[in-house]
Structure 1
Amino acid sequence: MILALILFAVTYVLMLRLQQYRPWVALCSAVLFIVLGEAGVYEFSLRAALQAVDYNVLLMMAGTMGTVALFIESKMPARLAEMLIVRVPDVKWAVCMLALFAGVISAFVDNVATVLMVAPVGLAIARKLKISPVPVLIAIAVSSNLQGAATLVGDTTSILLGSFADMNFFDFFWMRGRPGIFWGVELGALASLAVLLWLFRRETQPIAAKVETEVEDDVPAALMLLTVGLLIAASFLPEPAAGPLHTVYELRSGLVCMGLCLFGVARACLRAGSAKPLAHVLGELDCDTLLLLFGLFIVIAGIHAAGVIDAAARLFHAVAGESPFRLFTLLVVVSVVLSAFIDNIPYVAAMLPVVQSIAALMNDGVGVEPYVFYFGLLTGATLGGNLTPIGASANIAAIGILRKNGETVTTRDFLRIGVPFTLAAVLAGYAYLWLVWGKV
């Protein structure tokens, strides 16, 4: 176990220090775990490693990325943002509505892609009114991060949770006779909206805007809606007993996302009379994240086989004791703090099995339902990235856009919005989750 723990710690440190090489670090670590397993250091074979990879998650992510690329290319998001802006009275509400719009979009679209969609509208408004675009784009970025936990396809971490806990799309809204995590995220959104209204309270200049962007293709937007609808429908399919149909059932969400993506790409290529749409979609795929997850699935299975997960669970249990409330609070706080400085994808991937093991140890070994702990982990890890400029990819993307446009972004600029925004959203979500799901 010690060797596996050291290898995992080195892997994590290297991923933090070598951000641009994270996928290769994870893949190399996965290979080492397989070699150690085949050498008999612990029971972990190549077959077990390949079985540990969640191909449904990878297919869901790749398919959603492709459809989102077509959606952005259609210019529908920019037109929707403009249609929203023409209905607000002043800059304060314009910024807040843009932030809310970014949040709604990011519940179904990757956070970085959401920033890339909405940021140009925010920049245009700031330039027209001769105000600094820095707080505007920061508000858009943190709002994009907030809604990632709202739905199954909102963020990579949500997809990981959905697969690990066998949650379907509908479970994020209503699960086991109780409101799901979606409503906790929306309460956080309302709380954070109040924060944004207060932060921008002096920006009362009237705003005049027009709907100028022309949508080039309506089909990608329809594909986005169809993806959500089919994911909901797929959640009601009966589970086959075994055989090939069971394999298809296990991959159903991924096959839905990938199938619609391939249809959209094929249609776009026929419409354009060339393979340029295919090249565009392939260029927009986040291959680094896909490779990172592939490697992490194997690494986490390796440390599980070596007993590291069980040891970590016992440590958390020793700190929290038999109190579910103490454990829930500990998970939220630790997740917020750590996610402010480290990527939440490997963190959530590593912690999900730990949380499951902790829940099994509680109640004197009888175990308790783990869902409130899963939701606490996801909420803290998703929102914690808003505390610092480097805590989430969407923040980095927004700051990059500002710098490309000649703007200087200081840490103080970010913290002035990020800290109160995060605290308001986390506290609202934390209270909701415990009140609704705390009776474990």
Structure 2
Amino acid sequence: MLPALIIFLLTYLLMLALPQYRPFAALGGAALFLALGAAGLWDFTLMDAARAVDFNVLLMMAGTMGTVSLFIESRMPARLAELLIVRVPNVKWAVCMLALFAGVISAFVDNVATVLMVAPVGLAIARKLKISPVPVLISIAVSSNLQGAATLVGDTTSILLGGFAGMNFFNFFWMEGRPGIFFGVELGALASLGVLLFTFRHETQPISATVETEVTDTVPSALMLLTVGLLIAASFLPQPAGGLPLALYGLRSGLICAGVCLFGILRACLRLRSFAPFRLAARELDCDTLLLLFGLFILIEGIRKAGVIDAAAQLFYTLSGDDPFRLYTLLVFVSVGLSAFIDNIPYVATMLPVVQGIAGLMNGGAGFPPELFYFGLLTGATLGGNLTPIGASANIAAIGILRKQGEQVRTRDFLRIGIPFTLAAVLTGYVYLWLVWGA
């Protein structure tokens, strides 16, 4: 087990030290596990690795990315933001509503894509009113990160949880007769809105805006809604007995996302009589994240085969004992602390099987339902990224946009919003989840 742990830690350190090479570090670590498995150090074969890769998750991500690229290109997000802004009385409410709007979009669209959609509107408002765009874009970024945990397609971590736990789109709203994590996220959004209103309490300048953006194509918006609708419908399909129908059933969410995306791209190419939409979708495809996840799936199965996952679960169990509240609290706040500095995708991918193992050890081996711990992990890991400028990709994207505009973003500027925003959202979600799932 020690060699497996060393390889995993070295791989993780490489991903932290060389973020631009994270996919290659993960793939290299996975290849090393396979090579040592073939040498007989542990029982890990190529077939084990192939079975470990969740192709449903990868297809969901790739398909959603492509449809989002068409959605952004249609200019619908900018139009919606303008329609929202013309209905607010002053700068304070304009910034807060823009952040809320980014959050709503981010519940169904990748966080970084959401920032890229909404940031130009925030910049335009800041320029028009001659205020600093720094707090405006920081508010958009942290709100996007918050709502990513609300639905199955809102963030990579949500997709990972859904694939690992066999959750469908509807389970984020209602699961096993109880309200799901969606409502905890929304309560956190309301609490964090209070933080933003307090932060911008002095920005009471009146605002006048017009709806100027023209939507070039409404079909991508319809495709986004169709994707969500089909995912919900697919969640009610009965599971086949076996064979090819069962294999396709396991890929149903990914096939839906990929199918809708391909239809949208083909339709756009025919409409424009050009391959430009295909090239656009290809450029927007985040191959680094897809390759990273591919490697992580294999890497994590390797450390599971070597016994590292079981050992980590035992360590957590030793610290928490049979007390679910203690374990839940530990998971949430350790996840918040770690995700403030490390990428939450590999962290969540690693911790999901650990959490499953801990839940199985509780009650003297009789086990404890793992949903509380799954949701606690997702809440802490997703929202913890808002504590620091480097804790989430959306934060990095927003800061990059500001720097291109010649704006200096100091760490204290980010912390002034990020820390109270995160604490308000996490504590609210933490209490909600325990009351609903821990009692």
Q: Same fold (TM over 0.5)?
A: yes
The yes-or-no answer on 1:403 pairing with 2:403 is yes
Distance 1:292 1:344 in 2: 12
The letter for the 2-side match of 1:140 is I
- The within-5 A match list for 1:393-432 is 393-432=393-432
The yes-or-no answer on 1:344 pairing with 2:329 is no
Deviation (angstroms), 1:164: 0.6
1:60 aligned partner = 60
Deviation (angstroms), 1:132: 0.3
The yes-or-no answer on 1:272 pairing with 2:280 is no
2:212 aligned partner = 212
1:261 aligned partner = 261
Tell me how many residue pairs correspond in the alignment.
Answer: 439
Distance 2:426 2:90 in 1: 28
1:257-306: CA deviation from partner (whole Å, max 9, x where unpaired): 00000000000111111111100100000000000000000000000000
2:46 aligned partner = 46
Deviation (angstroms), 1:40: 1.1
The letter for the 2-side match of 1:30 is A
The letter for the 2-side match of 1:240 is P
Deviation (angstroms), 1:321: 1.1
The letter for the 1-side match of 2:428 is A
1:320 aligned partner = 320
1:96 aligned partner = 96
Identity of aligned residues (%): 78
Please identify, of 78-87 and 31-40, the stretch whose mean Cα deviation from structure 2 is larger. 31-40
The letter for the 1-side match of 2:170 is F
Distance 2:85 2:401 in 1: 21
1:362 aligned partner = 362
Deviation (angstroms), 1:322: 1.0
Look up the SS of the partner of 1:239 in the other structure. coil
Deviation (angstroms), 1:311: 0.1
The letter for the 1-side match of 2:315 is L
The letter for the 2-side match of 1:160 is L
1:149 aligned partner = 149
1:310-335: CA deviation from partner (whole Å, max 9, x where unpaired): 00000000011110000000000100
Deviation (angstroms), 1:4: 0.4
1:286 aligned partner = 286
2:27 aligned partner = 27
Please identify, of 33-42 and 51-60, the stretch whose mean Cα deviation from structure 2 is larger. 33-42
The letter for the 2-side match of 1:225 is L
1:390 aligned partner = 390
Distance 2:41 2:55 in 1: 27
Distance 2:61 2:281 in 1: 13
Distance 1:323 1:124 in 2: 51
1:331-360: CA deviation from partner (whole Å, max 9, x where unpaired): 001000000000000000000000000000
Distance 2:358 2:286 in 1: 33
1:74 aligned partner = 74
2:305 aligned partner = 305
Q: CA RMSD in A?
A: 0.4
The letter for the 1-side match of 2:150 is A
1:227-284: CA deviation from partner (whole Å, max 9, x where unpaired): 0000000000000010000010000000000000000000011111111110010000
TM-score (norm 2): 1.00
1:392-426: CA deviation from partner (whole Å, max 9, x where unpaired): 00000000000000100000000000000000000
The yes-or-no answer on 1:2 pairing with 2:2 is yes
Q: Which runs of 5+ in 2 are unaligned?
A: none
Distance 1:326 1:89 in 2: 45
Distance 1:260 1:30 in 2: 32
1:244 aligned partner = 244
Distance 1:47 1:175 in 2: 33
Distance 1:37 1:219 in 2: 49
The letter for the 2-side match of 1:345 is I
Distance 1:49 1:165 in 2: 19
The letter for the 2-side match of 1:422 is T
The yes-or-no answer on 1:224 pairing with 2:224 is yes
The letter for the 1-side match of 2:433 is L
The yes-or-no answer on 1:435 pairing with 2:435 is yes
Distance 2:428 2:368 in 1: 24
The letter for the 2-side match of 1:438 is G
Distance 2:91 2:98 in 1: 10
Deviation (angstroms), 1:70: 0.2
Look up the SS of the partner of 2:148 in the other structure. helix
The yes-or-no answer on 1:191 pairing with 2:202 is no
1:87 aligned partner = 87
1:296 aligned partner = 296
